[in-house]
């Protein structure tokens, strides 16, 4: 089982140093500490275990260190920054693991860019050696790239000429869309196995600055301080500790404090329920800070994030996730009001940004998502996003027979109208009504109101509203039908339908790159007996099928 929970003291590959407003993340991969057996992580190459630590470090810097304004990414090894994803790991990994690995690394790089754009915590790269493939892609996720000027250090994206695959972590998209490299220059760069160094790398905008070895450390700190001066991160604020997540894994269920999961392995279904908070809730910035990682929206989001990652990597055949909520909708509404009222406070801002990233991960999951809105549900505001993220939703019209429960309700809040955008930079409501501004405004006018099934259906917030006579049968048929379809076709269909509207760097990376890499990872030219991934390092030449498809 792949474990995503970690703590700094458990890191095997990264070290974190804090010096006032500057943090330095140094990559020093332990080549004998791979997450799987069968390969060594030489030359600062990475596997999923290395990236799990990086993901954790990015989160900790945002929550535990409000004083940090600039983060330097560099290597603790001489003459090598990062050789990218470990090739032998890719060669022996299952197709599913390779694709999930690429998706996870992309989500981690996106979180780095998110920290730079929204948290005032700017990442810069200090490339003190060779940066190849995913190593250069790691640098591309930062806002400023510095390369040491010597006879050997270079940057490269050698996947096409050496491995018959694509750069798996957004390299192609970031080169042309983020760094604005000319298409012809990018074409040459991406087919040059040895890469580019020196003045050409600067001229072609592949890096920002070339620095002599004798001045490298000094210049990196100078640039870090320059970026720090532009940040609005708070001064003299105390961070919170991201304590370990409380989780119990059993054969047919996983239990967190705020999320519970039940497996139906025979029908390949996951029942995932998010529970509303109970008891008194923090209402001031002081009490939110005191609650720390136990504050419900942060605790729930961390648990949901862990659940998504765990299920994605460890439960490949459970292809349909049924999403429910339970508890007091008024509690969720109160939480949303507190978040909106205090969104300028650094910790509340980080909590909202974390919610955004977790819901984005849910959007991107290769699973069918079905939301069920029943009596006792609390799909309010932040949790209404689960309904909007689902591929299909069913809301009970009224109550069940012989039940005293109140009818099922939905309740929008301010959180549904800008705080939690998708990868296309639109809210889920805007994406649902891509060319219907009037309907978006109609829903906005219902903020704080409980909407029964008839009203929710009229507003387009749900797909179907069966009554109690048809509910069980209609839901059962829908879910069973879903599990009967080809998982491959469903993955492609769902990914194509989820992101209507404008294209962004993120939608390009996940929509285009993930689809193409998914296909290329199954082609004989890459993974066949004479494919590049299998023959890499053997000295043998790949025997490519030369037909274009």
Q: What is the DSSP string of 417-447?
A: TTTS--TTSS-HHHHHTTT-HHHHHHHHTTT
Q: Is residue 2 part of a domain?
A: no
Q: For position 65, what pLDDT does the model report?
A: 98
Check whether residue 203 and residue 257 sit in a common domain. no
Distance from the Cα of residue 160 to its chain's centroid: 25
Q: For position 405, what pLDDT does the model report?
A: 84
In Å, what is the CA distance from 293 to each residue of 21, 147, 237, 301? Answer: 23, 38, 16, 10
Q: Is residue 523 part of a domain?
A: no
Check whether residue 86 and residue 221 sit in a common domain. yes
Q: pLDDT tens track of the chain, all 549 residues? A: 999 999 999 999 999 999 999 999 999 999 999 999 999 999 999 999 999 999 999 999 999 999 999 999 999 999 999 999 999 999 999 999 999 999 999 999 999 999 999 999 999 999 999 999 999 999 999 999 999 999 889 999 999 999 999 999 999 999 999 999 999 999 999 999 999 999 999 999 999 999 999 999 999 999 999 999 999 999 889 999 999 999 999 999 999 999 999 999 999 999 999 999 999 999 999 999 999 999 999 999 999 999 999 999 999 999 999 999 999 999 999 999 999 999 999 999 999 999 999 999 999 999 999 999 999 999 999 999 999 999 999 999 999 987 888 899 999 999 999 999 999 999 999 999 998 999 999 999 999 999 999 999 999 999 999 999 999 999 999 999 999 999 999 998 998 999 999 999 999 998 887 788 888 999 999 999 999 998 988 999 999 999 987
Instruction: Specify the CATH number for the domain of residue 381.
Output: 3.90.226.10
Q: Is residue 548 part of a domain?
A: no
Q: For position 515, what pLDDT does the model report?
A: 80
Range of the domain at 210: 10-229
Q: Is residue 392 part of a domain?
A: yes
Q: Is residue 307 part of a domain?
A: yes
Check whether residue 311 and residue 211 sit in a common domain. no
Q: For position 406, what pLDDT does the model report?
A: 87
Check whether residue 118 and residue 213 sit in a common domain. yes
Cβ within 8 Å of residue 525, ≥6 positions away: 164, 531, 532, 542, 544, 545
Check whether residue 201 and residue 257 sit in a common domain. no
End residue of a domain, out of 456, 471, 497? 497
Q: For position 240, what pLDDT does the model report?
A: 98
Q: Is residue 317 part of a domain?
A: yes
Check whether residue 220 and residue 251 sit in a common domain. no
Q: Is residue 1 part of a domain?
A: no
Check whether residue 472 and residue 354 sit in a common domain. yes
Q: Is residue 520 part of a domain?
A: no
Check whether residue 367 and residue 422 sit in a common domain. yes
**What total of structural domains would you count in the chain?**
2
pTM for this entry: 0.96
Q: For position 113, what pLDDT does the model report?
A: 98
Check whether residue 223 and residue 251 sit in a common domain. no
Check whether residue 225 and residue 260 sit in a common domain. no
> Sign of torsion, CA 303 304 305 307?
positive
3-state per-residue secondary structure call for 259-314: EEEEEECCCCEEEEEEECCCCCCCCCHHHHHHHHHHCHHHHHHHHHHHHHHHHHHH
Check whether residue 221 and residue 338 sit in a common domain. no
End residue of a domain, out of 171, 203, 229? 229
Q: For position 229, what pLDDT does the model report?
A: 97
Check whether residue 183 and residue 73 sit in a common domain. yes
């Amino acid at each position: 089982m792949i474990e995503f929970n970690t703590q700094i003291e458990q890191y095997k590959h990264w070290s974190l140093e804090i010096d006032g407003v500057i943090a330095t993340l140094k990559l020093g991969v332990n080549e004998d500490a791979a997450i799987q057996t069968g390969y060594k992580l030489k030359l600062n190459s990475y596997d999923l275990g290395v990236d799990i630590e990086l993901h954790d470090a990015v989160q900790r810097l945002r929550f535990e260190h409000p004083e940090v304004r600039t983060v330097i990414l560099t290597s603790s090894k001489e003459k090598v920054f990062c050789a990218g994803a470990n090739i032998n790991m890719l060669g022996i990994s299952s197709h599913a693991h390779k694709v999930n690995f690429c998706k996870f690394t992309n989500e981690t790089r996106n979180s780095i860019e998110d920290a730079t754009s929204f948290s005032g915590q700017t990442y810069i790269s200090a490339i003190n050696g060779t940066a190849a493939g995913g190593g250069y892609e790691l640098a591309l996720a930062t806002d400023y790239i510095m390369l040491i000027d010597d006879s050997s250090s270079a940057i490269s994206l050698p996947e096409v000429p050496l491995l018959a695959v694509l750069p798996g972590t957004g390299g192609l998209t970031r080169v042309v869309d983020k760094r604005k490299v000319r298409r012809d220059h990018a074409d040459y760069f991406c087919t040059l196995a040895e890469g580019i160094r020196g003045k050409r790398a600067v001229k072609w905008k592949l890096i920002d600055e070339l620095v002599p070895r004798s001045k490298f450390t000094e210049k990196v700190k100078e640039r870090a301080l320059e970026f720090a001066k532009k940040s609005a991160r708070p001064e003299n604020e105390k961070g919170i500790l991201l304590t370990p997540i409380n989780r119990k894994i059993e054969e047919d269920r996983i239990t967190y404090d705020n999320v519970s999961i039940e497996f139906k392995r025979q029908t390949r279904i996951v029942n995932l329920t998010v529970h509303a908070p109970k008891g008194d809730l923090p209402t001031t910035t002081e009490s939110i800070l005191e609650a720390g990682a136990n504050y419900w929206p942060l605790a729930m989001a961390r648990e949901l994030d862990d659940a998504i990652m765990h299920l994605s990597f460890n439960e490949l055949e459970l292809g349909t996730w049924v999403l429910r909520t339970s508890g007091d909708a008024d509690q969720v509404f109160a939480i949303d009001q507190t978040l909106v009222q205090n969104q300028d406070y650094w910790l509340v801002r980080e909590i909202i940004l974390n919610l955004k990233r977790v819901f984005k991960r849910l959007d991107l999951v290769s699973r069918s998502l079905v939301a069920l809105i029943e009596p006792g549900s609390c799909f309010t505001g932040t949790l209404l996003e689960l309904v909007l993220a689902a591929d299909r939703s069913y809301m009970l019209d009224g109550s069940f027979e012989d039940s005293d429960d109140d009818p099922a309700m939905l309740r929008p809040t301010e959180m549904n109208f800008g705080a939690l955008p998708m990868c296309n930079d639109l809210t889920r409501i805007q994406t649902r009504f891509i060319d219907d501004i009037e309907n978006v405004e109609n829903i906005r006018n219902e903020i704080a109101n409980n909407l029964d099934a008839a009203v929710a259906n009229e507003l387009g917030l749900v797909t179907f509203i069966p009554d109690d006579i048809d509910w069980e049968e209609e839901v059962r048929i829908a879910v069973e039908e879903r599990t009967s379809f080809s998982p491959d076709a469903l993955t492609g269909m769902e990914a194509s339908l989820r992101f209507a509207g404008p294209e962004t760097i993120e939608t390009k990376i996940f929509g285009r790159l993930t689809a193409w890499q998914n296909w290329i990872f199954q082609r004989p030219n890459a993974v066949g007996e004479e494919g590049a991934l299998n023959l890499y390092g053997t000295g043998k030449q790949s025997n490519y099928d030369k037909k274009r498809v």
